Amino acid sequence: MLYALELSGEHDVLPVMEAYACMKIAGLEFKEYEVLDQCLVVDINGIRDEIESRLLHVAQRLAMSHHIIRVAGMCDTSANTILQMAENIDYSKHIDPGETFVVRARKIKHYCDFEREFIEGHVGGTIFRKRFRANLKTPDVKFRLIIGEKCIFGPVVASVDRSAYEKRLPHKKPFFYPGVLMPRVARALVNISGVKEGEILFDPFCGTAGILVEGAIIGAKVIGIEVRPMITSGAQMNLQAFGGHHDVIIGDACMVPLNDECVDAIVTDPPYGRSAAIKAESLHHLYDGAFREMYRLLKSEKLAVVVSEIDVSVFAIDAGFKIVCEYSQRVHRSLTRRITLLQKR
């Protein structure tokens, strides 16, 4: 059965990686059907009700998506083709007797030459003429048109509450310190790490706990280390504000007081010259020691996600990690982040 994830477009690759990771965590058996601009279509095996129950949990974790849609139709982006597709759909598979509907569209970039309101009205009229009742304010079923490289059409089965991330912006937390990851990026990286509810997520450079907060919210047990006492106190304040099982230690990322292979995932944003409080002989010494500790602490075959301005591959390989993939994210003109996904061999 085909489902489409309407992606946010914040990055070329990360939203797709996050979607795959969350579907795997939810236990869905799927394969990639098509990757389009800001839209991922997957073929999921199983019974519809069970699939969509799990997709609700996927949506609760996702950060870089908007909606998950059960695909009722796909076609090219000409208006006539879209209207013909809408005419040919059996809506009894998507709307129960007595339910109401609405049609909403999203245009991605400039793949079509008509207005969103035009296609919403005409597709809605098609469904109405098939004797289904419209309700523009409180519909039972929300149909969505994603109009990009192709048109994807179907009912929304789950939506991502992106407004929740806005409430957790760094300056809105109890303790703020500049230069931290935005909540949606932090959540996406936590998801990509594959950490599950009840598992241990570790950040050896936790700062104000932006990554750990996102991990705690999805139910992971989070542990962080921070060398600066004031920032450690701030991290505790932020974690206490959002709840969950957490522990933050004042300490050195090169000498972590934890047992071997005790963590299920690592996500971290190490300092790269932006902090004057690095208590190490050099940045090279810090990275070398920290990567060796991360390798020691991580369970076999588990993943670490590292964000950095510099290439960390040499440190990772020297520590024993396998590099799964590397991506870049342009933040602004003078800052490009490297995101490196590592696996303990």
Q: What are phi and psi of 5, to 5 degrees?
A: -105, 120
Mean pLDDT within 86-110: 97
**Range 74-103 average pLDDT:** 97
Q: Are the C-beta atoms of 329 and 291 separated by less than 8 Å?
A: no
* Entry pTM: 0.95
pLDDT at position 331 is 73
Tell me the pairing of strands 100-107 and 73-75.
unpaired
CA dihedral over 152, 158, 160, 163, signed as positive or negative: positive
For residue 261, pLDDT over 90 is answered with yes
Longest dimension (CA), the chain: 74
Domains by residue range for the chain, with CATH: 2-159 (3.30.2130.30), 166-344 (3.40.50.150)
Arithmetic mean of pLDDT, 7-19: 95
The residue with tokens 């098509």 is: 34
Determine the Cα angle at 42 with ends 36 and 47, to 5°: 155
Mean pLDDT of 209-215: 98
Distance in angstroms between the alpha carbons of the first and the last residue of the chain: 35
At residue 279 the predicted structure's pLDDT band, cuts being 50, 70 and 90, is low
Q: How confident is the model at residue 280 (pLDDT cuts 50, 70, 90)?
A: low
DSSP state of 282: -
The pLDDT of residue 328 is: 86
Q: 325-340 pLDDT, tens per residue?
A: 999 877 777 678 899 9
Bridge partners, 327 (sequence order): 339
What's the pLDDT score for residue 166?
A: 96
pLDDT-derived band of residue 172, with 50, 70 and 90 as boundaries?
Answer: very high
| pLDDT value of residue 277 | 44
| pLDDT given for residue 300 in this prediction | 98
Please state which of the ranges 68-82, 189-203, 278-292 shows the lowest mean pLDDT. Answer: 278-292
Residues 69, 86: Cα–Cα separation, whole Å? 15
- What CA–CA distance (Å, rounded) separates 321 from 240? 33
Percent of the chain whose predicted confidence (pLDDT) is above 70: 97
Instruction: Indicate if the pLDDT at residue 276 is higher than 50.
Output: no
**Lowest mean pLDDT, pick from 136-140, 151-155, 178-182:** 178-182
Angle between helices 14-25 and 48-61 (to 10 degrees): 130
Q: What are phi and psi of 299, to 5 degrees?
A: -70, 155
Instruction: Work out the average pLDDT over 80-101.
Output: 97
pLDDT in tens, 284-323: 999 999 999 999 999 999 999 999 989 999 999 999 999 9
